């Protein structure tokens, strides 16, 4: 083996990976004496676990008679600079520290220490490596100015808090790869403490621990979703659920605790879900019975199906719980209410009457200590009832400003709807990280060429690869803007007085619910697409996609199972239709909607169903009308089907079950239209009020086109069956969608750079260089 070929071997040999930083120092140092070189060579030769080829490759970098060429040295520089970008802060301090972090076993670390001692100095990494490490040649370049412009569009109203979160995320110590459950939990605790020290958690409680609005905390939550999702959810449990319940359902007597919640002095959990009633909150079995003689509530778990389950923080860290229970006063049940219940002593021991359990190892999010809770006659003072909507007076009488139990229950839950915004939007953030990694890799990785004499093509030049990733990229941007719009409406709903509302709370709840469904489903689908698009590299833990995939899976279940939420959304839509006909009963409404279906079929524009012009297909009018048509038609035909079953004598529950698939289709159509309409509104507002370059306007237009045409194409069979489009137009939509994706592809790298995910947070090596490139072979 020649010295040159041996040095190439060294760059790719896993046994030598931890030696590369020290070989860099040794080969760069022109003052090494012959004795020092011999000592280094002898030390390497004395390592029995090194394969002969690896030993020869390492020694080749120390041969003074055949020193590394400038190109070989630059290749080593590029490789190490790429590695250093995703290393911890400690490892980036010196070459010795970087080598230690790369060491994969105790014998490797010992060898690294011995070689570093022979070099006689602990050399610092060059400060200019960031500039010297150039990305590999690519036909898909990012435009930094355009990325900043587009980033401003994507950031929305809360750019400042997003920048603060990005500063926090720009830390390699956030990475958590290959740790066991306990180590992962400890790592998450440490990072949560680091986050709390920034003061960012105080934004969870506007009007109490900060100025501003809840939208700032929601933006914080969303931005944090780019990083370690265990940390995101652990923070969400502490500040968003436990603290958020105290803030939203409590009053001044409880709000004094919130500063301690934000600083982590008071660790809590949110004990709503029960093993027997995961989504059916109204039927929870835990009981809180009022005892007037002692002015206390006695909290009891009446049976095993009533145990609190999957409670984040309950296994270990939480000392208090907001417990949701059936409130009983003077023998009368008043429905589900929330109380603060101490569950552990300061040193972590369960309190008398409280039993805790650990849910154990999970598919993902193992940094969150999910647990179980049982209560056996646990007494808490009456003041621990979160009393914004109900209280017990000095005479032991139950009082509430909302007389109707059902309306009181839904009013209470409505104050917690922000949690669904946070979960859905953070799933979209996780998808952004996966897509950023996959798209950056796709702009560098080359595979196949038309002839041996021509260079191989980058992955993103292939239409099949564009079809894998770019529809997901467009969906991500559209959903991000939809969540931005719904955060604004949620903020208005939080401050508007009853009777003076511009935002209908029930309609808002339906919008939030369906966006949570779409956001969490997109998180799973987009990260899976990213995994497959990266091939085997996407399967490696170090490239992050595998962890993102397993962590985001549960987002489709918590804060409301997606299938259950979808059905609740459709029920709300049917109720809204009924509200348009105040003087009509349900049967009359159904008949009216049935007539609308027939009228819509008769009045279809015979020209529009055939029109295939690209300008028409790319017009926002056509795109919005097409999505709106499907939504209206699906809901109206659903109402007609329900009506026919009710007239035949079926009860509503049975009738609803018989059309359940139609119910789910209705909520999906509503969500797809809502998301795109929100995007278009935001697009119009931003572009009309901000100075934006034509290039960025075009990118935004292409992203919207890709989402709309892709959504219509995915429902091609439905539109053809309905007759809304003819086969020729359906084919034209598919072709035009492909053209849009090919036009979007050259901008894809700019779009993902506009996400502004810090390098240390993105972390995956394949996001920074192609390990299959000859430079790294």
Which pLDDT does position 424 carry in this prediction? 97
Strands (DSSP E) along 293-343, which ranges?
296-300, 308-312, 320-329, 332-342
C-alpha to C-alpha distance for 1 and 60, rounded to whole angstroms: 10
288 by DSSP, 3-state: which?
strand
Which pLDDT does position 128 carry in this prediction? 55
- Closest CA relative to residue 416, chosen from 485, 347, 303, 336: 336
Which pLDDT does position 6 carry in this prediction? 59
| Residue 152 in tokens | 């401003």
In whole angstroms, how far apart are CA 574 and each of 373, 488, 632, 712? 38, 25, 11, 23
Per the model's pLDDT, the better-predicted residue between 392 and 456 turns out to be 392
Give the model confidence (pLDDT) of 621-650 as tens digits. 999 999 999 999 999 999 889 888 988 999
Query: Please, how many CA atoms are within 13 Å of residue 705, restricted to the half-sphere of its CB?
Result: 24
Which pLDDT does position 11 carry in this prediction? 66
Secondary structure letter of residue 142 according to DSSP: -
Give the model confidence (pLDDT) of 473-497 as tens digits. 999 999 999 999 999 988 887 766 6
C-alpha to C-alpha distance for 363 and 227, rounded to whole angstroms: 18
**CB count in 10 Å sphere of residue 633:** 20
Per the model's pLDDT, the better-predicted residue between 736 and 176 turns out to be 736
- Mean pLDDT value across the chain: 87
Residues 634, 667 contacting (CB under 8 angstroms): no
C-alpha to C-alpha distance for 43 and 45, rounded to whole angstroms: 5
Q: For residue 359, name the pLDDT band (cuts at 50, 70, 90).
A: very high
Q: Look at residue 135 and tell me whether its pLDDT is greater than 70.
A: no
Q: Which residues contact 591 (CB under 8 A, 6 or more apart)?
A: 643
- Closest CA relative to residue 64, chosen from 116, 3, 22: 3
Q: Give me the sign of the Cα torsion angle 682, 683, 686, 689.
A: negative
Q: Look at residue 603 and tell me whether its pLDDT is greater than 60.
A: no
**CB count in 10 Å sphere of residue 220:** 26
Backbone angles phi, psi at 375, to 5 degrees: -125, 130
Percentage helix, strand, coil for the chain under 3-state DSSP, each rounded to 5? 60, 10, 30
C-alpha to C-alpha distance for 431 and 438, rounded to whole angstroms: 10
Which pLDDT does position 133 carry in this prediction? 36
C-alpha to C-alpha distance for 777 and 765, rounded to whole angstroms: 15
Q: For residue 498, name the pLDDT band (cuts at 50, 70, 90).
A: low
Which pLDDT does position 1 carry in this prediction? 47
367 by DSSP, 3-state: which?
coil
Which pLDDT does position 499 carry in this prediction? 62
Per the model's pLDDT, the better-predicted residue between 564 and 586 turns out to be 564
Run of H or E including 391: strand 391-392
Which pLDDT does position 61 carry in this prediction? 77
Give the mean model confidence (pLDDT) for residues 172-179: 83
* Stretch among 152-156, 474-478, 489-493, 531-535 having the lowest mean pLDDT: 489-493
- Closest CA relative to residue 24, chosen from 93, 98, 89, 88: 98
- Closest CA relative to residue 355, chosen from 377, 372, 380, 341: 372
Helices within 690-757 (DSSP H only): 694-714, 716-722, 727-744, 748-754
Run of H or E including 378: strand 378-381
C-alpha to C-alpha distance for 384 and 397, rounded to whole angstroms: 16
Q: Look at residue 181 and tell me whether its pLDDT is greater than 60.
A: yes
C-alpha to C-alpha distance for 624 and 240, rounded to whole angstroms: 35
Backbone angles phi, psi at 335, to 5 degrees: 90, -175
Q: For residue 593, name the pLDDT band (cuts at 50, 70, 90).
A: low
Give the model confidence (pLDDT) of 387-429 as tens digits. 999 999 999 999 999 988 888 888 888 778 899 999 999 999 9
Which pLDDT does position 176 carry in this prediction? 82
* Stretch among 142-156, 190-204, 308-322, 517-531 having the lowest mean pLDDT: 142-156
Backbone angles phi, psi at 606, to 5 degrees: -65, -25
Cα dihedral 604, 610, 616, 619, rounded to 10, equals 40
Q: In what order do the strands lie in the sheet with 354-358?
A: 308-312, 370-375, 354-358
Secondary structure letter of residue 560 according to DSSP: S
Q: Look at residue 132 and tell me whether its pLDDT is greater than 70.
A: no
- DSSP conformation letters of 642-669: HHHHHHTT--HHHHHHHTHHHHHHHHHH
| Residue 309 in tokens | 């389950």
Q: For residue 322, name the pLDDT band (cuts at 50, 70, 90).
A: very high
Give the model confidence (pLDDT) of 289-312 as tens digits. 999 999 999 999 999 999 999 999
Cα dihedral 568, 548, 129, 25, rounded to 10, equals 160
Secondary structure letter of residue 384 according to DSSP: G
| Residue 347 in tokens | 């040193």
Q: For residue 138, name the pLDDT band (cuts at 50, 70, 90).
A: very low
* Stretch among 100-104, 167-171, 582-586 having the lowest mean pLDDT: 582-586
| Residue 96 in tokens | 């010795």
C-alpha to C-alpha distance for 356 and 350, rounded to whole angstroms: 7
Give the model confidence (pLDDT) of 73-112 as tens digits. 777 777 787 777 777 777 777 888 888 888 777 777 888 8
Secondary structure letter of residue 583 according to DSSP: T
Q: Look at residue 754 and tell me whether its pLDDT is greater than 50.
A: yes
Give the mean model confidence (pLDDT) for residues 248-263: 96
Q: Look at residue 430 and tell me whether its pLDDT is greater than 70.
A: yes
Per the model's pLDDT, the better-predicted residue between 454 and 626 turns out to be 626
Q: Look at residue 506 and tell me whether its pLDDT is greater than 70.
A: yes
Q: Which residues contact 477 (CB under 8 A, 6 or more apart)?
A: 154, 679, 703, 707, 751
Strands (DSSP E) along 51-143, which ranges?
none
Strands 287-291 and 320-329: parallel
List b or e across 696-734, with b for residues whose CB sees 16 or more CB atoms inside 10 angstroms.
Answer: bbebbbbbbbbbbbbbbbebbeebeebebbbeebbebbe
List b or e across 102-136, with b for residues whose CB sees 16 or more CB atoms inside 10 angstroms.
Answer: bbeeeebbebbeebbebbeeebebeeebeeebebb
C-alpha to C-alpha distance for 629 and 635, rounded to whole angstroms: 10
Which pLDDT does position 137 carry in this prediction? 35
Which pLDDT does position 171 carry in this prediction? 87
Residues 191, 398 contacting (CB under 8 angstroms): no
Angle CA 139–142–146, to nearest 5: 140
**CB count in 10 Å sphere of residue 14:** 8
558 by DSSP, 3-state: which?
coil
Angle CA 525–530–532, to nearest 5: 95
Give the mean model confidence (pLDDT) for residues 664-676: 98
Give the mean model confidence (pLDDT) for residues 1-13: 59
Q: For residue 122, name the pLDDT band (cuts at 50, 70, 90).
A: low
State the burial class of residue 580 (Cβ atoms within 10 Å of its Cβ: 0-12, 13-18, 19+). exposed
Q: Which residues contact 393 (CB under 8 A, 6 or more apart)?
A: 399
| Max mean pLDDT range (33-42, 130-139, 162-171) | 162-171
| Residue 379 in tokens | 């007494």
Beta bridge partners of 26: none
| Residue 337 in tokens | 């209410």
**CB count in 10 Å sphere of residue 347:** 6
- Closest CA relative to residue 364, chosen from 556, 201, 192: 556
Q: Which residues contact 405 (CB under 8 A, 6 or more apart)?
A: 334, 335
C-alpha to C-alpha distance for 205 and 256, rounded to whole angstroms: 11
Q: For residue 581, name the pLDDT band (cuts at 50, 70, 90).
A: very low
């Amino acid at each position: 083996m020649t010295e040159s070929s041996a040095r190439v071997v060294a760059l790719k040999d896993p046994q030598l990976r931890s030696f590369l930083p020290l070989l860099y120092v040794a080969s760069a140092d022109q003052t090494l004496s012959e004795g020092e070189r011999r000592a280094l060579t002898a030390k390497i030769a004395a390592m029995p676990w090194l394969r002969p080829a690896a030993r020869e490759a390492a020694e080749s970098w120390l041969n003074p008679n055949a020193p590394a060429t400038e190109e070989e040295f630059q290749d080593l520089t590029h490789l190490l600079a790429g590695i250093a970008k995703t290393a911890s802060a400690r490892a980036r301090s010196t070459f010795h520290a970087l080598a230690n972090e790369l060491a994969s076993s105790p014998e490797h670390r010992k060898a690294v220490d011995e070689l570093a001692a022979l070099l006689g100095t602990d050399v610092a990494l060059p400060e200019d490596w960031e500039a010297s490490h150039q990305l590999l040649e690519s036909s898909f370049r990012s435009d930094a100015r355009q990325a900043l412009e587009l980033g401003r569009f994507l950031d929305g109203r809360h750019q400042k808090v997003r920048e603060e979160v990005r500063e926090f995320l720009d830390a390699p110590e956030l990475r958590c790869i290959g740790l066991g459950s306990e180590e992962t939990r400890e790592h998450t605790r440490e990072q949560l403490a680091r986050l709390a020290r920034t003061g960012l958690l105080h934004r969870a409680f506007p009007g109490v621990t900060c100025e501003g609005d809840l939208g700032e905390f929601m933006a914080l939550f969303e931005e944090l979703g780019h990083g370690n999702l265990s940390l995101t959810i652990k923070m969400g449990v502490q500040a968003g659920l436990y603290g958020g319940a105290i803030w939203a359902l409590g009053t001044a007597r409880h709000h004094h605790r919130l500063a301690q919640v934000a600083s982590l002095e008071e660790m809590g959990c949110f004990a709503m879900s029960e093993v027997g009633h995961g989504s059916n909150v109204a039927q929870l079995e835990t009981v809180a019975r009022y005892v007037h003689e002692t002015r206390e509530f006695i909290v009891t778990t009446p049976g095993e199906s009533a145990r609190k389950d999957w409670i984040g923080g309950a296994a270990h860290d939480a000392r208090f719980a907001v417990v949701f229970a059936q409130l009983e006063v003077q023998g009368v049940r008043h429905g589900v209410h929330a109380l603060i219940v101490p569950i552990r002593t300061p040193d972590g021991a369960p309190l008398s009457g409280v039993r805790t359990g650990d849910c154990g190892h999970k598919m993902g999010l193992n940094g969150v200590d999910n647990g179980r809770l049982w209560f056996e006659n646990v007494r808490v003072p009456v003041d621990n009832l979160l009393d914004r909507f109900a209280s017990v007076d000095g005479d032991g009488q139950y009082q509430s400003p909302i007389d109707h139990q059902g309306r009181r229950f839904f009013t209470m839950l409505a104050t917690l709807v922000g949690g669904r915004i946070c979960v859905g939007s953070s799933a979209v953030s996780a998808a952004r990280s996966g897509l950023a990694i996959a798209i950056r890799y796709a702009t560098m990785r080359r595979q196949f060429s038309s002839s041996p004499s021509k260079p191989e093509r980058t992955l993103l030049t292939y239409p099949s690869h564009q079809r894998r990733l770019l529809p997901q990229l467009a969906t991500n941007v559209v959903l991000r803007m939809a969540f931005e719009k719904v955060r604004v409406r949620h903020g208005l709903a939080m401050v508007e007085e009853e009777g003076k509302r511009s935002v209908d709370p029930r309609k808002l709840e339906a919008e939030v619910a369906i966006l949570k469904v779409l956001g969490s489903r997109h998180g799973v689908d987009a990260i899976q697409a990213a995994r497959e698009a990266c091939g085997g590299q996407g399967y490696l833990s170090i490239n992050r996609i595998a962890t993102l995939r397993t962590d985001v899976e549960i987002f489709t279940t918590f804060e409301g199972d997606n299938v259950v939420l979808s059905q609740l959304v459709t029920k709300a839509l049917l109720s809204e239709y009924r509200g348009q006909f105040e003087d009509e009963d349900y049967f009359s409404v159904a008949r009216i909607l049935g007539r609308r279906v027939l009228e819509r079929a008769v009045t279809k524009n015979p020209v529009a169903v055939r029109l295939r012009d690209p300008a028409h297909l790319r017009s926002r009018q056509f795109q919005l009308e097409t999505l709106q048509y499907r939504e209206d038609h699906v809901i109206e035909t659903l109402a007609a089907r329900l009506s026919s079953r009710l007239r035949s004598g079926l009860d509503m529950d049975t009738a609803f079950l018989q059309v359940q698939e139609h119910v789910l289709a209705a909520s999906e159509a509503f969500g797809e239209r809502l998301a795109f309409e929100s995007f278009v509104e935001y697009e119009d507002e931003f572009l009309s009020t901000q100075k934006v370059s034509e290039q960025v306007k075009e990118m935004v237009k292409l992203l919207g086109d890709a989402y709309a045409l892709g959504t219509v194409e995915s429902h091609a069979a439905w539109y053809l069956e309905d007759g809304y489009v003819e086969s020729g137009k359906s084919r034209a939509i598919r072709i035009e969608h492909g053209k849009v994706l090919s036009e979007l592809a050259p901008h894809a790298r700019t779009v993902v750079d506009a996400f502004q995910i810090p390098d240390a947070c993105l972390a995956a090596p394949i996001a920074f260089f192609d390990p299959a490139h000859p430079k790294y072979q």
